Chain A
Amino acid sequence: MNLSTRGFLKAAATLALALFALAPAASLAQAATDTDQWIHIRVTSRDAKGEVVRINVPIEMAEKVLPAINKDRLHDGKVRIESGQVKDVDLRAILDAVRTAKDGEYVTVQSNENNVRVSKSNGMLYIIVTDKEHVKKAAAKEDSAKGEKASAPVESKVEIKVPIKVVDALLSAGKDELDLVAALRALSAHGDTELVTVKDAENDVHIWIDSKNSTE
């Protein structure tokens, strides 16, 4: 074997080794950028165990994986709504009315059981529900536990904040369907936002979107 052939073989072997060694790194190079939007869910239990659940999902991943799930009412990234559930309620008409209306408060229900407020402001739909029954039940529980001092009752409050464009996208599929993938795309385009906050005696639930890949 002459010198040039030997040199060529050495170079080929070195190159092959380098390729094998760098193969995983090359696949990592496809990594998502820092600007990707993530959905974060955090559930903090108020009980003695103090359970904390944190879920972080890239919106792009959810967009790709959801259409692959075909089970029960979920097909191709869309959820089928039973016609019985929306009987006599034209969701599209209601949405259209809300979208074209001026900013303001549309629904205010105040009762002994709960308060409900639905309003629109700067392209966002706000739904705030305060459950008073929860406070009463907690107070009753405190009374029944004689001698033992229960923790102060916390009223159950649900706050939902949804960009109108996301609601539009959600209802874009058809009459009896909700398009989850379209809604995710709209959410991703909207940028960082708080979506859902639930506070009650048992749990704190927080759902939001930002570009960080961890909860904290």
Chain B
Amino acid sequence: MLVLAKVALGLGATLAMTTAYVFHEGVIRVDVDESRPGGSHVHFWVPATAVSAGMRVARLAPQHPLELAAEQAKPYLPVFRALAKELQKYPNAEFIDVTDEEQHMHIGTVNGKLHIDVVGDDKTVHVQVPVETLMDVAGRLEDASRSARAEGWHARHAKPVFASE
């Protein structure tokens, strides 16, 4: 009985630790609702830690999809990183608000999360991303971009040039 209690305590503690770790960065939430007939309704939430972990795993893949993403996002990475870093200083702020008779768009931060909300006559979109996750993503993309350069990504992925061309 005592052994069972110890095992239960161990499992409980592990579960609590895992849950705390998984959610310590917060949750990414996306809600999309189309009010037209047959419109789509998408609702999902992902622990932000899963994104970081996913990016770590992606670097192990043979095709290295992160390098491709990093190369495509390269021109915007410095701005993305600077913006994410600065956003951390403004956990509760209203940045952009556009209202007209058909829709309302709002971009701001609430409790350290970037909120993007668009409420229109026919569509509603709500996106919430922890600012910390944006920093993490920017950092990992920059790392991937650096390693792509170091490993000669362009040389490996350049289209072959034929003599006749």
Interface on A for B, CB 8 Å cutoff?
A: 13, 16-17, 20-21, 23-24, 27-28, 30-32, 45, 48-58, 60-61, 64-65, 67-70, 213-215
Q: Contact between A27 and B99 (Cβ–Cβ < 8 Å)?
A: no
| Nearest chain B residue, comparing its CB with the CB of A32 | B89
- Chain B interface size band reads 35 or more
B2-41 near A? 1/0 per residue, CB < 8 Å? 0000000000010011001100111000000000000000
Known A27-B88, A28-B91: A17·B98 in contact at CB below 8 Å = no
**Complex alpha-carbon distance, A67 and B99, angstroms:** 30
**Complex alpha-carbon distance, A27 and B101, angstroms:** 38
| Nearest chain B residue, comparing its CB with the CB of A33 | B89
The DSSP consensus for interface residues of chain B is mixed
**Chain B residue contacts of A215, Cβ below 8 A:** 94, 97
Name the contact of B13 in the complex, choosing from A13, A32, A60, A214 (C-beta under 8 A). Answer: A13
B140 contacts the other chain (Cβ, under 8 Å)? no
Name the contact of B101 in the complex, choosing from A13, A23, A50, A69 (C-beta under 8 A). Answer: A50
Q: A27-B132, A55-B97, A69-B78 are in contact. List 15 more A-B contacts (CB 8 A).
A: A16-B20, A20-B24, A21-B20, A21-B24, A24-B24, A24-B25, A30-B88, A45-B100, A50-B100, A53-B96, A53-B97, A54-B96, A54-B98, A57-B95, A65-B79
Known A52-B98, A52-B100, A68-B78: A58·B90 in contact at CB below 8 Å = yes
Instruction: Give 8 CB contacts A-B under 8 Å.
Output: A24-B26, A24-B132, A54-B96, A58-B89, A64-B85, A68-B82, A69-B79, A70-B78
Q: Contact between B102 and A49 (Cβ–Cβ < 8 Å)?
A: yes
CB of A144 to closest CB in B, whole Å: 26
CB of A169 to closest CB in B, whole Å: 21
**Complex alpha-carbon distance, A56 and B78, angstroms:** 21
Q: Contact between A32 and B90 (Cβ–Cβ < 8 Å)?
A: yes
**Chain A residue contacts of B90, Cβ below 8 A:** 31-32, 58, 61, 213
CB of B95 to closest CB in A, whole Å: 6
The DSSP consensus for interface residues of chain A is mixed
**Chain A residue contacts of B85, Cβ below 8 A:** 64
**Chain B residue contacts of A51, Cβ below 8 A:** 98-100
Closest 9 CB pairs of A and B: A51-B100, A68-B78, A20-B20, A61-B86, A68-B82, A54-B97, A20-B24, A32-B89, A28-B91
| Nearest chain B residue, comparing its CB with the CB of A57 | B95
Q: Contact between A49 and B17 (Cβ–Cβ < 8 Å)?
A: no
**Complex alpha-carbon distance, A49 and B96, angstroms:** 18
**Chain B residue contacts of A64, Cβ below 8 A:** 82, 85-86
